[in-house]
Amino acid sequence: MVTDRKIGVLMGGASAEREVSLKSGAAVFNALERRGYRVAAIDVGHDICDVLKREGIEIAILVLHGGHGENGAIQGLLEVMGIPYTGSRVLASALAMDKESAKKIFLYHRIPVPPFVVVGNGSSREGNGSEVNGFGKETVPFTLPWVLKPAAEGSSIGVSIVREEASFLPALDHALKFGGRVIIEKYIEGKEVQVGILNNTVLGAVEIRTKLDFYNYEAKYTPGLTDYILPPEIDAEVLGEAEGTALAAHRALGCEGATRVDLIIDSDGNPYVLEVNTIPGMTETSLLPKIANRAGLGFPELIEAILGEAIAGGEKR
């Protein structure tokens, strides 16, 4: 047993990814309870401080996807309360959740990302930070197709692929429903690979093949719409470069614990980082547990490894 302290599994919340978070949280809670841990399942609301005190929570496992659970807010609250928690700290969480900020960090560290523009809040900014006048499709300095996505959402919520100009404004309006800034990325044709990282070590990778236009929310959570290839059917040298790029992205943001880094590998074998997920899905069939299982780490052991690192990190701080 990693600890005899009272553990709170924080899940749910009010983000657009609430239902997925509840499933992840239930899987983590059940795994820990079967192992004999003192554990409480907590659906996070505005009274979270009172609930944590009332339950006597001594360490928190964060299984909150999106919103305040993944943007550094709950991490800051736990810091103030003196409760150790799993995953990345405040700054890394905030950077990873904000795709614009993350991409700028990646560019600084020469980590490849697709060409992009950020529009919203009355202005548009190119990926290199220079100003662009206007707010229409003429602000995009690269050719179609494009990927439009909210700057601070997960699970592909609000994401569209624009293949013709007529689709641009509807896609932009859709993305703006989930925040005031929208990332417009150059669409890169290639293989989607997701790399699992645990405590600054690459666990492995999975290749995503979806029957839909892209790996959207429906493809992620509807059985039969997506095939998961473990290990990826990719040249070993190319896969090694992709895994190294993923680890560099994880470290550039200062991430800790378990993350899943999403990449696209083009036809020439070049990897591009799409995003870093600081609290990846944690049901027993989610991608990080799949990757861990192939690496010889079962679901309960994965949870204990994440928990152990959080305890050790808390003691160091």
Q: What is the pLDDT of residues 108-149, one digit of tens each?
A: 999 999 999 999 865 445 454 333 334 455 678 899 999 999
Residues of the chain with pLDDT under 70: 121-138, 154-155, 212-223, 314-317
Is it true that the peptide bond before 145 is cis, omega within 30 degrees of 0?
yes
Q: Are residues 210 and 100 in the same domain?
A: yes
Choosing from 281, 286, 304, 309, the catalytic residue is 281
Q: Are residues 243 and 145 in the same domain?
A: no
Choosing from 35, 221, 269, 313, the catalytic residue is 221
**Distance spanning both ends of the chain, measured CA to CA:** 22
Choosing from 216, 260, 304, 309, the catalytic residue is 260
Active site residue 277: yes
- Asked, for residue 287, whether it belongs to a domain, the answer is no
Active site residue 233: no
201 DSSP β-pair partners: 198
Active site residue 269: no
Report pLDDT for 17: 83
Choosing from 21, 71, 155, 286, the catalytic residue is 155
Q: Are residues 216 and 103 in the same domain?
A: yes
- Asked, for residue 299, whether it belongs to a domain, the answer is no
Q: Are residues 252 and 105 in the same domain?
A: yes
Q: Are residues 199 and 166 in the same domain?
A: no
Positive or negative: CA dihedral 88, 94, 96, 102 = negative
In tens, the pLDDT along 22-31 reads 999 999 999 9
Report pLDDT for 154: 64
Instruction: Provide DSSP, the chain.
Output: ----S-EEEEE--SSTTHHHHHHHHHHHHHHHHHTT--EEEEE--TTHHHHHHHHT-SEEEE---SHHHHSSHHHHHHHHHT--BSS--HHHHHHHHSHHHHHHHHHHTT-----EEEEETTEEEETTS-EE--SSGGG--SPSPEEEEETT--TTTT-EEE-SGGGHHHHHHHHHTT-SEEEEEE---EEEEEEEEETTEEEEEEEEEESSSSS-HHHHHSTTSEEEESS-SS-HHHHHHHHHHHHHHHHHTT--SEEEEEEEEETTS-EEEEEEESS---STTSHHHHHHHHTT--HHHHHHHHHHHHHHHHHH-
Choosing from 98, 100, 153, 275, the catalytic residue is 275
Report pLDDT for 316: 56
Q: Are residues 145 and 206 in the same domain?
A: no
- Asked, for residue 294, whether it belongs to a domain, the answer is no
Choosing from 12, 17, 93, 158, the catalytic residue is 17
Active site residue 243: no
Helices 287-294, 299-316: inter-axial angle, 10-degree rounding: 100
Q: Are residues 29 and 79 in the same domain?
A: yes
Q: Are residues 102 and 201 in the same domain?
A: yes
Is it true that the peptide bond before 150 is cis, omega within 30 degrees of 0?
no
Single residue among 263, 278, 293 that ends a domain in this structure: 278
Q: Are residues 204 and 262 in the same domain?
A: yes
160 DSSP β-pair partners: 148
How many domains does the chain fold into? 3
Report pLDDT for 217: 63
- Asked, for residue 304, whether it belongs to a domain, the answer is no
Active site residue 262: yes
Q: Are residues 144 and 246 in the same domain?
A: no
Active site residue 275: yes
Q: Are residues 227 and 104 in the same domain?
A: yes
- The CATH number of residue 234's host domain is 3.30.470.20
Overall residue count recorded for the chain in this entry:
317
- The CATH number of residue 158's host domain is 3.30.1490.20
Q: Are residues 209 and 106 in the same domain?
A: yes
Provide the residue range defining the domain that includes 173.
116-186
